[in-house]
Structure 1
């Protein structure tokens, strides 16, 4: 390889490595997979940590791994739930299920509000380079619901 080619090849190769690293870092944070801090709607205070994971098909689910508010004792149960989660501990409970990737984010699944025991349809998408997760629970159509913004934990 001549001197000119070496001068050109090194910077191009370095740029390629840096670009691949940046894309990989972006890809890792552009997914909801990870641990998220939820925020209480009424107080604005941190409420719980939810771990979102993917199954073999790429569908997402989320479970409560830690309560953060003063009223969240480890033995707290979902007394308002009406399905198989009735009276089960909230800690370790799956509250998000069957989320599928779409062009705009993830949807098609459900989310449980352990406070009232209601199950809502769910859609979500990441923002701020994957550092925030906007989670929308709704009945019927997405316009009839509420959104929460969760914060990624390291």
Structure 2
């Protein structure tokens, strides 16, 4: 009888722990492939992770377009990232969860232009994410679609 209770308790604990882990993994977390708006080609891989309840994104790889001089440093950045290498650079930070699959109130850097914008990200299925960079209000901005990178 005690053995059955032990097994039942262990199973119940496993279900609770598994459910907690499943809820802790947000679909926005992982490696995402950015697509260049003009060429419609892959531009970079961004690793998104949650740190202290906030999302941040770091460039882990770039894909220069054929014939394009690869951008290696953030030459046009206006903050402490100026002239720093792009690989390993934090370009997205401060996003707070505001609903299922939605994060907002963060900042995002466009390394090609050196400009920083406010950002909101929305992912519905964990495979595609809308990243909206804007000035002031989300209405005044543009949206890029990022795709979950194959692992």
Range class of TM-score, shorter chain: 0.7 to 0.9
> Structure 1: any 5+ residue segments left out of the alignment?
1-16
Partner of 2:55: 60
| 1:43-94 Cα distance to aligned partner (Å, 9 max, x none) | 0000100000111x21010000001224474x71011100000011111100
Which residue does 2:109 correspond to in 1? Answer: 112
Measure, in 1, the Cα distance between the counterparts of 2:99 and 2:45: 26
2:69 and 2:107 mapped to 1: Cα distance? 22
How many pairs does the alignment contain? 131
Runs of 4+ residues deviating >3 angstroms? 70-73
Report the RMSD for the aligned CA atoms in angstroms: 2.2
Larger Cα Rg: Structure 1 or Structure 2? Answer: 1
Q: Deviations over 1:114-142 (max 9, x none)?
A: 00000000000103x11011100000010
Cα distance between partner residues in 2 of 1:72 and 1:131: 30
Aligned to 2:122: 125
- Are 1:97 and 2:96 matched, yes or no? no
Match of 1:12 in 2: none
TM-score normalised according to structure 2 size? 0.78
C-alpha separation between the residues in 2 aligned to 1:59 and 1:47?
24
Q: Distance in 1 between matches of 2:135 and 2:37?
A: 18
Matches within 5 A, 1:1-154: 24=22, 28=25, 30-55=26-51, 57-70=52-65, 71=68, 73=70, 76-103=72-99, 105-127=102-124, 129-153=125-149, 154=151
